[in-house]
């Protein structure tokens, strides 16, 4: 009986890095109030007039932000992360529309494809994206090119 020596192949994941977050950004934005009104906990937030650090400078910003992330494991597909955020905000559409009269919002989809892949393609159903855009939420898609 012949024994075959199998080499283990290193698994290549489609994406090295990915995240999806609903961002609310506005002048005089109060993240605590947004969390209370929407009854949702953000993954990160910062009130207006908070101190920010950029390089070696500390400055005051007039803009605050509130970011809602997906509840799924980071290995889930981008499409599933988008759907999870939609499930969180869909029951609160009316409240969110009122908030969006005063602040800007976008669905921020970011990905860094694996450097060994020649092609990376992502399809998002039109009806899912239409749910966001109908509320006045822009779609922001960014691809971070991996460095070799």
- For the segment 26-82, what is each residue's pLDDT rounded down to a tens digit? 988 899 999 999 999 999 988 877 655 555 555 566 788 999 999 998 888 889 999
pLDDT band at 21 (very low <50, low <70, confident <90, very high): very high
Cβ atoms of 37 and 95 within 8 Å: the answer is yes
| Exposure of 54 in the CB half-sphere (CA atoms within 13 A) | 5
Tell whether the torsion through CA atoms of 73, 79, 85 and 91 is positive or negative: negative
- For the segment 97-122, what is each residue's pLDDT rounded down to a tens digit? 999 999 999 999 988 777 766 667 78
Separation in Å, CA 23 to CA 1, 67, 105, 142 = 61, 5, 5, 14
User: What's this model's pTM, rounded to 2 decimal places?
Assistant: 0.79
């Amino acid at each position: 009986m012949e024994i075959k020596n199998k080499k283990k192949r290193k698994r290549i994941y489609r994406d090295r890095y990915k995240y999806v977050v609903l961002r609310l950004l506005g002048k005089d934005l109060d993240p605590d109030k947004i969390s209370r009104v929407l009854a949702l906990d953000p993954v990160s937030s910062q009130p207006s007039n908070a101190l920010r650090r950029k390089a070696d400078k500390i400055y005051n910003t007039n803009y605050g932000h509130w970011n809602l992330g997906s509840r799924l494991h980071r290995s889930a597909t981008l499409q599933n992360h988008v759907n999870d955020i939609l499930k969180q905000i869909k029951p609160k559409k009316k409240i969110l529309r009122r908030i969006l009269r005063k602040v800007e919002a976008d669905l921020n989809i970011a990905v860094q494809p694996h450097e060994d892949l020649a092609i990376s393609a992502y399809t998002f159903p039109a009806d899912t994206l239409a749910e966001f855009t109908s509320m006045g939420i822009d779609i922001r898609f960014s691809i971070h090119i991996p460095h070799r």
